[in-house]
A = this chain, B = another copy of it.
């Protein structure tokens, strides 16, 4: 065994190594260090303890309280191959010791953005509703079928949350020439404007947009921030896309609004998953339903491996990571109050 190569410990549950690393990626991983994997279950404590003194990079969701970190003297990075930061790490110790804590959430930006655009176009043009009607032999041709249809071109769009997901979605919208308003209380106006969007308050986004997309992660601050009162501010005939987490919305109020014909909505997330069999939302005409499908593609999972490899290589060369998401002292406690992974 080449002890000069850094020890990389992989404890991938709930994922597996093959989910994120194809054969070539595994080879590249092996070239970077001595790789120790345990994937039939969470890595047993004894195995973790055995490797703590040597481990330089930990990939996975292993518990890392202060006492373990204390023994992991060579540890340089902990990388979660999901999109969240879990509360089982002593972040303060990591920050103090310049141990990078990273996750792979940026991989979800493009896939969620494409899904959001597909859902927005679906609602704007009645694509799935018209397909359903056609299958049931009640299709309507031409103009009569488009009474509620509109073009996205030039329509005011509102984004709630402007992290990686919101920005990826904005890029896809560029050719549509839509004026875009952004509500994100964690970002300065300057940054929003630098992306050719207009920063504004939540109410203004709700009241002035023809299509609204929610990309905000759940934090300790924003649970159910989109309550009934907020949802009722949305203009009649608008579209509402829920792409991040159901917890930011009063879901039943959302269903009521759609049932009342106030606006149409699409959701990729639900307060409980799987969602109860008989729930009324399953029969609602103005609602487009997706069973948490926006992020969970094989190619996206393989890209997680690519991100991990890229930052791992930098870290082992003594350079800072640049592609994974970094835990920040200020926000990790707020974010980790609830899982935020997209898939």
Query: Measured between alpha carbons, how far is A292 from B306 in the docked complex, in Å?
Result: 40
Interface segment out of the listed A66-74, A111-119, A202-210, A256-264: A111-119
Bound complex: CA A314 to CA B145 (Å): 35
Instruction: Known A110-B151, A187-B322, A330-B320; judge A289-B174 contact (CB<8 A).
Output: no
Any B CB within 8 A of the CB of A5: no
- Shortest distance from the beta carbon of A281 to any chain B beta carbon, whole Å: 9
Interface: A131 (CB within 8 A): yes
Cα distance, A152 to B168, chains bound together (Å): 13
Question: Interface segment, A38-46, A122-130, A232-240?
Answer: A122-130
CB atoms of B134 and A131 under 8 A apart? no
A330 with B306: CB separation less than 8 A: no
Contact partner of A320 (CB less than 8 A), chosen from B125, B174, B331, is B331
A129 to chain B, nearest CB (A): 9
Q: How far is the CB of A221 from chain B (nearest CB, A)?
A: 11
B137 & A127 in contact (Cβ 8 Å cutoff): no
Q: B310 near A143 (CB under 8 angstroms)?
A: no
Cα–Cα distance between A130 and B293 once the two chains are bound (Å): 9
Name the contact of A139 in the complex, choosing from B96, B174, B291, B343 (C-beta under 8 A). Answer: B291
Query: Known: A172-B176, A175-B171, A188-B314. Is A143-B331 also a contact (CB below 8 A)?
Result: no
Instruction: Check if A189 is an interface residue, CB within 8 A of chain B.
Output: yes
Residues in A112-167 with C-beta less than 8 Å from chain B: 114-115, 117-119, 121-122, 124-128, 130-135, 137, 139-143, 145-147, 149-153
Stretch at the interface among A55-63, A223-231, A243-251, A295-303: A295-303
Contact assessment for A296 and B146 in the assembled complex, using a CB-CB cutoff below 8 Å: yes
Instruction: Find chain B residues with CB under 8 A from A222 CB.
Output: none
Q: How far is the CA of A124 from the CA of B297 in the complex (A)?
A: 11
Indicate which residue in B177, B187, B297, B318 contacts A196 across the interface (CB closer than 8 Å).
B177
- Residue A32 at the chain B interface, CB threshold 8 Å: no
Give every chain B residue within 8 A of A292 (Cβ-Cβ).
141-142
Contacts A98-B329, A122-B118, A297-B150 known; A289 to B191 CB distance under 8 Å? no
Q: How distant is the Cα of A333 from the Cα of B328 in the complex, in angstroms?
A: 22
- Picked from B124, B191, B298, B329, the residue with its CB within 8 Å of the CB of A322 is B191
Asked whether A319 is an interface residue with its Cβ less than 8 Å from the other chain, the reply is: yes
**A283 located at the interface, meaning its Cβ lies under 8 Å from any Cβ of chain B in the complex:** yes
Does any Cβ of B come within 8 Å of A7's Cβ?
A: no
Nearest residue, chain B, Cβ from A277: B137
- Annotate A247-291 by CB proximity to B: 1 below 8 A, 0 otherwise: 000000000000000000000000001110100001100001111
Cross-chain contact A291 with B128 (CB below 8 angstroms): no
| Interface presence of A190 (CB below 8 A) | yes
- Is A127 within 8 A of B118, CB to CB? yes
Q: Residues of A with Cβ closer than 8 Å to B?
A: 95-98, 110-111, 114-115, 117-119, 121-122, 124-128, 130-135, 137, 139-143, 145-147, 149-153, 171-172, 174-177, 186-191, 196, 273-275, 277, 282-283, 288-293, 296-301, 306-307, 310-311, 313-314, 318-320, 322-323, 328-331, 343
6 nearest A-B residue pairs (beta carbon): A118-B121, A188-B310, A128-B128, A134-B289, A142-B296, A139-B291
- 7 more contacts with CB within 8 A, not counting A151-B297, A319-B330, are A118-B118, A134-B289, A143-B301, A151-B299, A172-B176, A174-B174, A188-B314
